[in-house]
Amino acid sequence: MIVSIFIRDIITSKSIMYIPNVPNNSLTKEINEIVQLTKQLQETRKFVFNEPCSDEEISDWEKKHNIKIPNTFADWLRFSNGSTLRGNVAELYGLNGIEFNVSGFDQDCVIIGSLIGDGVVICFSKRNGKIFTDDHGDITEYDSLNEILEEVIYEINAMW
């Protein structure tokens, strides 16, 4: 009888969270605030950031799907290609998570994230690029993704 013994190294140091470099773009202010909150709350709250997208990846996605991504969402993708902000406060999808032509939603709607974890989705219009949320049919329009991120920052601050 052959007995195999596997020895694992146990790492006892703190795990290091990946935080991408903050780009200089239309979301720099909001991204910097989110990064600061992430650093303050990383021990107690879930924040996840993926590697950023390149301009070429964004352009390829747009060409493949014949959909123009609004500038402010493209600016977020240049920071993180998919992210979770404080557990279920907000999730912004990466290129592979973007949804469109979803049953139950207007065909103009492109879903790029969610808020609060109870069915509120962050969207943009294929037709005009306008950012909006859909809370079970209750539509709220925004001038840009900046406004949604400001609300997310407010919610995160209010929770601790």
- Distance, in Å, from the CA atom of 34 to the CA atom of 36, rounded to the nearest integer, reads 5
CA 71 to chain centroid? 14
Mean pLDDT, consecutive 10-residue stretches, the chain (160 aa), reads 34 61 95 92 83 98 98 97 91 97 93 90 97 94 96 88
Reading the block at residue 132, the tokens are 């909006």
**What pTM does this model have?**
0.86
DSSP label of 11: P
pLDDT number for residue 143: 94
52, 81 contact by CB (below 8 A) = yes
Query: What Rg, from alpha-carbon coordinates, does the chain have?
Result: 18
pLDDT number for residue 159: 78
- Distance, in Å, from the CA atom of 149 to the CA atom of 158, rounded to the nearest integer, reads 14
pLDDT digits (tens, 9 = 90+) for 67-92: 999 999 999 999 999 999 988 899 99
Find where tokens 């146990």 sit: 10
